[in-house]
Amino acid sequence: MQKKALPTTVIAIVAILLITAIPVSRAIALDSPVGHHLFILSGQSNMVGMDPTVSFTPTVNKALGKDRVLVVKDAASGQSIRSWCKSNHEFPPPTTGRVPKTRGELYGRLLKRTQAAMADKTLQTVTLVWMQGESDLNNTAYDAYLSELLEQLKSDLNAESINLVIGRISDHGLDRQKRLEGRLNIRKVQQEFADADAQRAWVNTDDLNDRIDQGKTIHDLHYHAVGYQILGKRFAEKAIELIDNKDDRHSQSPR
């Protein structure tokens, strides 16, 4: 006896059910009203010294909702921004100072941790929080490296846009002539780079490293315990401000 073929409509319904039953990794859908807010914390020693669980994460959790926040931290002491960027932007390429043997050697680790944290999640926003610069006092193209780092993350995370919060390097060493020009230049570049785009911001760190030694105020390279706590809160507040500003811009734009 010949079996009857299933009607075309039944086949179509079964196919749809099978497809929708297959688990799929959720892609990035920036600006989704129900997505997660991803914060990537990176840089050198003053980022290493900051514990995000003390003030950064509680602040963003309170503002955005604990279940919608992802925080990834990956930092390394004494490193140039060249250790995160794959290309050279200085000509001729530097041979002295903090020049890694392999450009971008720390970026892979940062990306791996970030991708692991965001696996199977939809993202509403991505924010890079960057605390670095003391190892780039001889860097003549620091702004170009900042741009490249953002572009690398956009490409590898498949994100159309990324917010950026920069911790401007502190006033350590501004009272000494040695490397003063380099310190002033990095501070200037960081501030100007942040001010040039509505999706960027910078925070002041000049008051986070002070200690009294024999009646004299010393501006340390690294921050004190309370300083790191304040830094985390400042980073969080600026990041939230950028997210809120983006929401305001979208609500005012034509539908």
- Each residue's pLDDT tens digit in the chain (255 positions)? 444 444 544 444 434 343 333 333 334 445 556 799 999 999 999 999 999 999 999 999 999 999 999 999 999 999 999 999 999 999 999 988 899 999 999 999 999 999 999 999 999 999 999 999 999 999 999 999 999 999 999 999 999 999 999 999 999 999 999 999 999 999 999 999 999 999 999 999 999 999 998 888 999 999 999 999 999 999 999 999 999 987 665 544 332
pLDDT attached to residue 250: 52
Assess if residue 61 is contained within a domain: yes
Q: Residue 101 maps to which CATH number?
A: 3.40.50.1110
Assess if residue 53 is contained within a domain: yes
Assess if residue 42 is contained within a domain: yes
Assess if residue 16 is contained within a domain: no
pTM over 0.75: yes
- Please give, one letter per residue, the 3-state secondary structure of the chain: CCCCCCCHHHHHHHHHHHHHHCCCCCCCCCCCCCCEEEEEEEECHHHHCCCCCCCHHHHHHHHHCHHHEEEEEEECCCCCHHHCCCCCCCCCCCCCCCCCCCCCCCHHHHHHHHHHHHCCCCEEEEEEEEECCHHHCCCCCHHHHHHHHHHHHHHHHCCCCCEEEEECCCCCCCCCCCCHHHHHHHHHHHHHHHHCCCCEEEECCCCCCEEEECCEEEECCCCCHHHHHHHHHHHHHHHHHHHHHHHHHHHHCCC
- Please give, one letter per residue, the 3-state secondary structure of 224-238: CHHHHHHHHHHHHHH
Distance of CA 27 to the CA centre of its chain: 19
Distance of CA 233 to the CA centre of its chain: 15
Assess if residue 6 is contained within a domain: no
Assess if residue 17 is contained within a domain: no
Distance of CA 155 to the CA centre of its chain: 14
Q: How many domains does the chain have?
A: 1
Assess if residue 11 is contained within a domain: no
Assess if residue 3 is contained within a domain: no
16 contact partners, CB below 8 Å, separation of at least 6: none
Range of the domain at 233: 25-252
- Report the alpha-carbon distance of residue 167 to residue 201 in Å, rounded: 9
